[in-house]
């Protein structure tokens, strides 16, 4: 094998271009897939948060005065195990929660403090206990005045686990393409 030959150099350049092109294509595929899954989760959180806001606005429960109607939250969100639901009043105090001790959880309190002035929904990933949750923070507004916040969290470990497996698979596929192409 003559490494100074034109044939060798062209083969190396083509192999490198093939490897970089394939890696970029797989990287974009990975990012688009991850973003699509998280966007779908965000849409589901938005639907559930809007339903909860309507329940509160319609007076079906008296959460804003500190009376927690566990039955309404359980009925509305029982099909989603591990889901976090918390409602705050205008001062930022948690008035209702699906999680025992949410008013003392440092992650939730930090998120509430940072989100106290939001006017549009925001979405973040946070580890609460041993679970990773995609949390949507939704402001409750009445005539432009803040009435409180609704936090909706959905476990996303399955998404991140699947994305890690996809990444490993893509790296293996790239290597399986690159080595024969180089040879």
Rounded to 10 degrees, the C-alpha dihedral 157/111/66/155 comes to: -10
The model carries a pTM of 0.76
| Cα–Cα nearest to 108, from 62, 149, 164 | 149
Burial of 175 (0-12, 13-18, 19+ CB in 10 A): exposed
Strand partners, 86: 97, 151
Q: In this structure, how many other beta carbons lie within 10 angstroms of the beta carbon of residue 97?
A: 21
pLDDT at 164: 94
Alpha helices in the chain (DSSP H): 6-57, 70-77, 106-114, 157-182
pLDDT at 165: 95
pLDDT at 69: 52
Please report the DSSP string for 132-143 in residue order: EEEEEEEEEEET
pLDDT at 79: 57
pLDDT at 63: 44
Strand partners, 126: 133
pLDDT at 43: 95
| Cα–Cα nearest to 102, from 125, 68, 77, 79 | 68
| Cα–Cα nearest to 121, from 59, 68, 44, 56 | 44
* pLDDT, mean of each 10-residue run, the chain (183 residues): 84 86 92 95 91 74 46 56 81 79 83 84 89 90 80 91 93 84 70
pLDDT at 51: 84
Cα of first residue to Cα of last residue in the chain, in angstroms, is: 12
pLDDT at 73: 57
Residue that the structure tokens 């005539």 belong to: 143
Contact residues for 147 (Cβ-Cβ < 8 A; gap 6+): 64, 89, 90, 140, 141
């Amino acid at each position: 094998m003559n490494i100074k030959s034109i044939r060798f150099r062209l083969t190396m350049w083509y192999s490198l271009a093939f490897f970089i092109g394939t890696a970029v294509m797989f990287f974009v595929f990975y990012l688009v897939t991850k973003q699509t899954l998280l966007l779908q989760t965000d849409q589901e959180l938005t639907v559930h948060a809007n339903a909860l806001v309507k329940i509160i606005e319609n007076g079906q429960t008296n959460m804003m005065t500190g009376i927690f109607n566990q039955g309404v939250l359980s009925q509305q969100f029982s099909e989603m195990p591990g889901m976090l639901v918390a409602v705050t009043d205008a001062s930022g105090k948690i008035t209702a929660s699906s999680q025992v001790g949410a008013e003392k959880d440092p992650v939730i309190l930090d998120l509430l403090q940072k989100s106290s002035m939001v006017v549009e929904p925001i979405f973040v990933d946070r580890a609460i206990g041993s679970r990773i949750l995609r949390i949507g923070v939704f402001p409750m507004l009445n005539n432009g005045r803040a009435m409180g916040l609704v936090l909706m969290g959905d476990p996303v470990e399955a998404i991140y686990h699947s994305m890690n497996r996809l990444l490993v698979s893509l790296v293996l596929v790239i290597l399986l393409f690159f080595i024969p192409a180089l040879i």
